[in-house]
């Protein structure tokens, strides 16, 4: 099905199932421990062996020699895999660095070997006996040092690396009110609960991997390319994932080494990366340095806005696209953005929790607050005055929906924004109290997505698609979509996900998964409705599907009876025309935060948070709320805690475990509230939905930082906002 005209009224608009707050149908499996995760597939492999990965002990250099004799002689050892015996390996296009080092080492903890043994303990013991001699080389590990000669990034999915409209430099220089400030965000890690893990089995020349991945089709294609085998000989299965956040978008070392280990040992192999390897071996969010310049008239109208960002990655990597939102969020006739990319020898930087807008808004929304203060304007009012209903870089493109001003207004009223005082003026005993806010913005992306649906004689519709559920509720919204389309109760729909034998879906990531995958199910259900109508002998346009029956032209039959003599099956995918080019499709919101700061210790406590979101039709308000409050919590972590500390001598992240990489917990935020505006976007998909998950994080960190400033009068531009930085800036 091709979606190239805005959606008209369709079966989803009935909202009998879609749009209702619904418990996640996978929830009971997870809370009872019966959801099969990748490392726990005891049901699919017999007598598995265990792999333990050895990571490189240098940040840059080469392997001079590897001595495996002691490891191979250890109890229970079946095989040791290295680049020397792994065979010729390619580098998949989605991997920036090789997944198995040798002879060159590209980054610290890049895999250099894996020991396969009868038990995990034996594999771990033997791995400690692998002796690797390295020749270390000087690496580039400091973004600040590399900034000076960092070139413009190349073009990519983010568009051009630099944009320019009007005369930014001239108008900014002449603006009556100016801001020129630099902000930094640190390297950050994913720290999901389930590690990167894989169980691999070979059956002749056919490979099956049960792995924890967000993108099943990507992994299947990339492991086939890496191993130089046919794509049809690879099956990837990933029905349950214990968190991804972008860290499981791409093929990683656990999957490759499990496959290599299973081949070498001649039996199935399980591999799970240890927590330190998750931080240094897999991907992370790269640090940024961001310079923002805003020039405004005295009435608060932005005349010139410029945003430059520096980030780093391995050779042939990609930038952190931190200027994305500045290209679209606020008005201003004279504009400039630029992304520069330094070559660094740190572990690979890549997508993490709203890449681009999340770190970009951390800077932009502090700058907007600073500019509002210079102008003597309330921060909410300043943002209102600079709203735009068209793409400010291309005014011929209107936004398909844009309710930013409504989000700001509703949020300010609900939060009690009018009680906000001047910086440092609100106090409760020893606590300094502050209110902060920020706009929320995340682009809406749509991706082709397919599904197969089958009606059986029990009247049950089964949906099959390789879509994944990373804890976001994919099972449920897909079931809701099929139930709505076929006129069935939710318990008459069965959903099977995460198998490369199923039709290729959008996968989970980039806030595109929910809308795109359900649109693919919609397309398949349209075909199934047509097939059912033909079976009844009525035109499908007139057929009505309700309560397990279909009727039209005086004919009526149960779905079960129509499939009595054999299953009725349909398959299709949703593809997209150029509506996203004609209309700028984005999601909007507003975040409000109250903090308290101890006046003696400068300890920060978040008291309450509010998010107001406009993100198209909300398919399941219950799971959508869960996603947003989870994202708000992540934003709080980015603001106050999260930082991968780089050892700039040796090029590794020092705090590479859950004891030293701090993330917020429930007790850190006692009250969170989410409001969804009533909105549909017919230019997005037949679901009239858009993404919601990542909108919840974009802007949160700045709202927290702005609240801390309002409480203390100390402005911190270098994340995370920690008490030592506040103390340094505090008045005597």
| Lookup: tokens for 636 | 């709080």
**What pLDDT band is residue 8 in, cutting at 50, 70 and 90?**
very high
For the sheet with 288-296, list strands across it: 162-165, 334-343, 302-313, 288-296, 177-185
Please state, in angstroms and rounded to a whole number, the distance separating the CA atoms of residues 544 and 551: 5
Please indicate, yes or no, if residue 528 is contained in any of the structural domains.
Answer: yes
- Same domain (yes/no): 657, 694: yes
Please state, in angstroms and rounded to a whole number, the distance separating the CA atoms of residues 583 and 399: 5
User: Is residue 382 helix, strand or coil?
Assistant: helix
Pairing of strands 549-552, 493-497: unpaired
Question: Looking at 544, 579, 614, which one is the last position of a domain?
Answer: 579
Please state, in angstroms and rounded to a whole number, the distance separating the CA atoms of residues 432 and 712: 7
Distance of CA 573 to the CA centre of its chain: 23
What angle do the packed helices 357-375 and 700-712 form, to 10 degrees?
40
Question: Looking at 579, 604, 631, which one is the last position of a domain?
Answer: 579
- The residue-averaged pLDDT of 335-355 equals 97
Please indicate, yes or no, if residue 639 is contained in any of the structural domains.
Answer: yes
Give yes or no for a contact between 641 and 719, defined as CB atoms under 8 angstroms apart.
Answer: no
Backbone angles phi, psi at 301, to 5 degrees: -85, 125
Catalytic residue among 194, 357, 393, 694: 694
Question: Looking at 522, 553, 579, which one is the last position of a domain?
Answer: 579
Give yes or no for a contact between 111 and 271, defined as CB atoms under 8 angstroms apart.
Answer: no
Please indicate, yes or no, if residue 363 is contained in any of the structural domains.
Answer: yes
Q: Which of 180, 217, 144 is CA-nearest to residue 520?
A: 217
| pLDDT tens, residue by residue, 705-721 | 999 999 999 999 999 99
Please indicate, yes or no, if residue 326 is contained in any of the structural domains.
Answer: no
Going by C-beta distance under 8 Å and a sequence separation of 6 or more, which residues neighbour residue 639? 362, 700, 701, 702, 704, 705, 719, 720, 721
Please indicate, yes or no, if residue 224 is contained in any of the structural domains.
Answer: no
Classify the phi-psi angles of 554: left when phi > 0, otherwise alpha if psi is within -120 to 50, otherwise beta. left
Please indicate, yes or no, if residue 381 is contained in any of the structural domains.
Answer: yes
- Same domain (yes/no): 483, 397: no
Give yes or no for a contact between 610 and 591, defined as CB atoms under 8 angstroms apart.
Answer: yes
Q: Is the pLDDT of residue 490 over 90?
A: yes
Distance of CA 77 to the CA centre of its chain: 38
| pLDDT tens, residue by residue, 68-115 | 999 999 999 999 999 999 999 999 999 999 999 999 999 999 999 999
- Same domain (yes/no): 608, 724: yes
3-state secondary structure 111-144: EEEEEEECCHHHHHHHHCCCEEEEEECCCCCCHH
- The residue-averaged pLDDT of 510-517 equals 97
For the sheet with 671-676, list strands across it: 427-428, 431-443, 586-598, 604-614, 671-676
| pLDDT tens, residue by residue, 624-678 | 999 999 999 999 999 999 999 999 999 999 999 999 999 998 889 999 999 999 9
Please state, in angstroms and rounded to a whole number, the distance separating the CA atoms of residues 195 and 192: 7
To which H or E segment does residue 408 belong?
helix 404-415
Measured at the CA of 223, the angle between CA 222 and CA 227, to 5 degrees, comes to 120
Please indicate, yes or no, if residue 288 is contained in any of the structural domains.
Answer: no
- Same domain (yes/no): 452, 400: no
Please state, in angstroms and rounded to a whole number, the distance separating the CA atoms of residues 47 and 521: 38
Give pLDDT, residue 731.
79
- Same domain (yes/no): 592, 573: no
Please state, in angstroms and rounded to a whole number, the distance separating the CA atoms of residues 442 and 438: 13
To which H or E segment does residue 486 belong?
helix 474-486
Give pLDDT, residue 732.
74
Give pLDDT, residue 165.
98
- Same domain (yes/no): 392, 486: no
Which sign does the torsion angle of CA 408, 413, 414, 415 carry? positive
Please state, in angstroms and rounded to a whole number, the distance separating the CA atoms of residues 106 and 83: 14
Is 694 assigned a catalytic role? yes
CATH (domain of 409): 3.30.365.10
Q: Is residue 43 packed enough to be buried (19+ CB in 10 Å), middle (13-18) or exposed (0-12)?
A: exposed
- Same domain (yes/no): 565, 589: no
| pLDDT tens, residue by residue, 300-336 | 999 999 999 999 999 999 999 999 999 999 999 999 9
| pLDDT tens, residue by residue, 600-613 | 999 999 999 999 99
What angle do the packed helices 253-265 and 216-227 form, to 10 degrees?
50
Total number of domains constituting the chain: 2
What residue numbers bound the domain in which 530 lies?
A: 2-35+446-579
Going by C-beta distance under 8 Å and a sequence separation of 6 or more, which residues neighbour residue 299? 385
| pLDDT tens, residue by residue, 256-303 | 999 999 999 999 999 999 999 999 999 999 999 999 999 999 999 999
| pLDDT tens, residue by residue, 370-402 | 999 999 999 999 999 999 999 999 999 999 999
**What pLDDT band is residue 252 in, cutting at 50, 70 and 90?**
very high
Please indicate, yes or no, if residue 535 is contained in any of the structural domains.
Answer: yes
| pLDDT tens, residue by residue, 418-468 | 999 999 999 999 999 999 999 999 999 999 999 999 999 999 999 999 999
Q: Which of 620, 624, 628, 615 is CA-nearest to residue 688?
A: 615
Q: Is the pLDDT of residue 127 over 80?
A: yes
Q: Is the pLDDT of residue 157 over 90?
A: no
Residue 134 burial (CB count, 10 A)? 16
Contacts 24+ apart (CB under 8 A), 390-396: 390/584, 391/328, 391/584, 392/165, 392/327, 392/328, 392/330, 392/331, 392/332, 392/333, 392/335, 393/163, 393/165, 393/327, 393/328, 393/335
- Same domain (yes/no): 429, 509: no
Distance of CA 477 to the CA centre of its chain: 18
Give yes or no for a contact between 351 and 688, defined as CB atoms under 8 angstroms apart.
Answer: no
Give yes or no for a contact between 463 and 499, defined as CB atoms under 8 angstroms apart.
Answer: no
Q: What is the distance in angstroms between the CA of the first residue and the CA of the last residue of the chain?
A: 67
Give pLDDT, residue 374.
98
Please state, in angstroms and rounded to a whole number, the distance separating the CA atoms of residues 450 and 466: 8
Alpha carbon distances (Å) from 85 to 114, 185, 408, 625: 11, 41, 60, 49
- Same domain (yes/no): 592, 451: no
Distance of CA 566 to the CA centre of its chain: 41
**What pLDDT band is residue 555 in, cutting at 50, 70 and 90?**
very high
Give pLDDT, residue 182.
98
Q: Is the pLDDT of residue 616 over 80?
A: yes
- The residue-averaged pLDDT of 147-163 equals 95
| pLDDT tens, residue by residue, 42-75 | 999 999 999 999 999 999 999 999 999 999 999 9
- Same domain (yes/no): 523, 620: no
Give pLDDT, residue 163.
98
| Lookup: tokens for 662 | 């701090």
Give pLDDT, residue 90.
97
- The total number of residues shown for the chain amounts to 732
Q: Which of 186, 250, 507, 510 is CA-nearest to residue 355?
A: 510
**Residue appearing with tokens 């609900």:** 414
- Same domain (yes/no): 565, 511: yes
- Same domain (yes/no): 368, 491: no
Give yes or no for a contact between 356 and 327, defined as CB atoms under 8 angstroms apart.
Answer: no
């Amino acid at each position: 099905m091709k979606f190239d005209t805005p959606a008209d009224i369709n079966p989803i608009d009935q909202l009998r199932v879609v749009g209702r707050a619904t418990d996640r149908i996978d929830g009971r499996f997870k809370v009872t421990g019966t959801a099969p995760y990748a490392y726990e597939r005891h049901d699919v492999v017999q007598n598995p062996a265990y792999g333990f990965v050895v990571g490189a002990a240098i940040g840059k250099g080469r392997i001079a020699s590897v001595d495996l004799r002691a490891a191979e002689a250890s109890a229970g050892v079946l095989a040791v895999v290295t680049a020397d015996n792994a065979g010729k390996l390619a580098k998949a296009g989605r991997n920036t660095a090789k997944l198995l080092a040798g002879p060159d080492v590209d980054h610290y903890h890049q895999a250099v070997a894996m020991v396969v043994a009868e038990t995990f303990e034996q594999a771990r013991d033997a791995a400690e006996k692998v002796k690797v001699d390295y020749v270390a080389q000087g690496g580039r590990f400091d973004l600040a040092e590399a900034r000076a000669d960092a070139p413009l990034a190349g073009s990519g999915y983010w568009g051009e690396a630099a944009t320019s409209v009007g005369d930014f430099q001239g108008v900014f220089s002449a603006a009556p009110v100016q801001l020129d400030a630099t902000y930094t965000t640190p390297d950050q890690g994913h720290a999901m609960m389930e590690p990167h893990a894989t169980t691999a089995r070979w059956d002749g020349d056919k490979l099956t991997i049960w792995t924890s991945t967000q993108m099943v089709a990507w992994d299947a294609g990339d492991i086939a390319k890496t191993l130089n085998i046919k794509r049809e000989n690879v099956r990837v299965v990933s029905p349950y994932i214990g968190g991804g956040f972008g860290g499981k978008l791409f093929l990683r070392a656990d999957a490759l080494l499990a496959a290599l280990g299973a081949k070498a040992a001649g039996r199935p192999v399980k591999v799970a990366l240890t927590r330190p390897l998750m931080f240094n071996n897999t991907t992370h969010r790269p640090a940024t340095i961001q310079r923002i310049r805003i020039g405004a008239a005295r009435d608060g109208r932005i005349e010139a806005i410029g945003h430059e960002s520096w980030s780093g990655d391995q050779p042939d990597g990609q930038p952190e696209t931190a200027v994305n939102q500045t290209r679209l969020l606020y008005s201003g006739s004279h504009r400039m953005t630029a992304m520069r990319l330094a070559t660094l020898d740190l572990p690979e930087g890549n997508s993490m929790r709203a890449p681009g807008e999340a770190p970009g808004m951390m800077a932009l929304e502090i700058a907007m607050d600073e500019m509002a203060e210079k102008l003597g304007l309330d921060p909410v009012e300043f943002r209102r005055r600079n709203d735009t209903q068209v793409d400010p870089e291309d005014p011929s493109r209107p936004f398909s929906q844009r309710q930013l001003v409504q989000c700001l207004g509703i949020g300010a009223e609900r939060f009690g924004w009018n009680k906000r005082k001047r910086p440092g003026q609100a106090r409760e005993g020893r606590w300094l109290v502050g209110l902060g806010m920020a706009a929320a913005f995340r682009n809406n992306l749509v991706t082709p997505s397919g599904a197969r649906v089958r009606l059986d004689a029990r009247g049950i519709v089964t949906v099959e698609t390789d879509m994944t559920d990373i804890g976001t509720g994919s099972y449920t919204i897909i079931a809701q979509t099929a139930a709505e389309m076929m006129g069935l109760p939710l318990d008459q729909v069965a959903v099977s996900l995460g198998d490369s034998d199923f039709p290729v879906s959008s996968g989970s990531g980039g806030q595109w998964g929910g809308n795109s995958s359900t649109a693919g199910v919609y397309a398949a259900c349209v075909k199934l409705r047509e097939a059912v109508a033909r079976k009844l002998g009525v035109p499908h346009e007139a057929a009505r599907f309700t309560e397990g029956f279909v009727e039209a032209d005086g004919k009526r039959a149960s779905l079960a009876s129509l499939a009595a003599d054999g299953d009725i099956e349909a398959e299709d995918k949703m593809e997209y025309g150029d509506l996203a080019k004609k209309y700028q499709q984005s999601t909007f919101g507003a975040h409000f935060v109250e903090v308290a700061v101890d006046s003696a210790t400068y300890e920060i406590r978040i008291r309450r948070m509010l998010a107001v979101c406009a993100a198209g039709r909300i398919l399941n308000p219950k799971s959508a709320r869960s996603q947003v409050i989870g994202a708000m919590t992540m934003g709080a972590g980015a603001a106050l805690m999260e930082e991968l500390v780089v050892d700039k001598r040796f090029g590794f992240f020092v705090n590479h475990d859950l004891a030293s990489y701090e993330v917020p917990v429930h007790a850190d935020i006692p009250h969170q509230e989410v409001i969804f505006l009533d909105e549909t976007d017919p230019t997005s998909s037949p679901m009239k939905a858009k993404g919601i998950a990542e909108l919840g994080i974009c802007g949160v960190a700045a709202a927290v930082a702005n609240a801390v400033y309002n409480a203390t009068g100390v402005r911190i531009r270098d994340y995370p906002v920690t008490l030592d930085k506040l103390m340094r800036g505090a008045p005597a």
